[in-house]
Amino acid sequence: MAPSDHGQQRPGLWETVNERYPGSMISKDDTVPLAPLRRPLSEARLTFVSTAGVQPKGTLPFDVVHPIGDYTFRAVPSDSNPVDLEIHQLKYPTDGANRDLNVIFPIQRLQELCDEGVVGELTESFFSFIGYNMDPDLLERTLAEDIADAVEDQLADLALLSPA
């Protein structure tokens, strides 16, 4: 889909969100250009960053009740089995994902792509947070920076980003 005049990829969605959550629509002009991949995908180390609210069982559940949002993330070991993971997220239907986590957090598909040599390797951890955050400045200043630092620490060559 072609970007709209204000740079969003799904313009209709934003009007809907802003109608349901007044004042929630944000605009961002200082976009960062995509970095070129420096090696073939089959030699690259891939990480995965998702807003699906997926986390290892036994870790502190995401704060889904806070009216302003949760600005923390969870590291999800990339060799996890889906049965060892769970979802804490109020704002999207989780029925399908609870039957097969891969529909929202394709960890086994990425493991397979790695085993098949399509992707060179996976970072030790993937990263997950919840997308209901009403303070975009705090989101950018803390959560985004924290995840970016974690991704750098894992020496990722590329990051697959996925909204939920």
Partner 1 sequence: MTAVSLHHLKAAVASGDTAALIRYVRLHVGDGNEHVGRNEIDKAWVQALTVLLDMPEIDREFVHNTLQTKDPGTLAHLFFSLHFALVRSTGDWIHDGTL
Interface contacts to partner 1, rule CB under 8 A: 20-30, 53, 61, 63-68, 87-94, 134-138, 140
- Rounded distance between C-alpha atoms, residue 53 and residue 107, angstroms: 14
- Rounded distance between C-alpha atoms, residue 155 and residue 124, angstroms: 10
Measured on CA atoms in the order 30, 14, 105, 132, is the torsion positive or negative? positive
CB of 52 to partner 1, least distance (A): 10
Nearer to partner 1 among residue 69 and residue 156 (C-beta): 69
- Rounded distance between C-alpha atoms, residue 125 and residue 147, angstroms: 11
Nearer to partner 1 among residue 3 and residue 93 (C-beta): 93
CB of 140 to partner 1, least distance (A): 6
CB of 62 to partner 1, least distance (A): 9
- Rounded distance between C-alpha atoms, residue 96 and residue 32, angstroms: 33
Nearer to partner 1 among residue 94 and residue 154 (C-beta): 94
CB of 30 to partner 1, least distance (A): 7
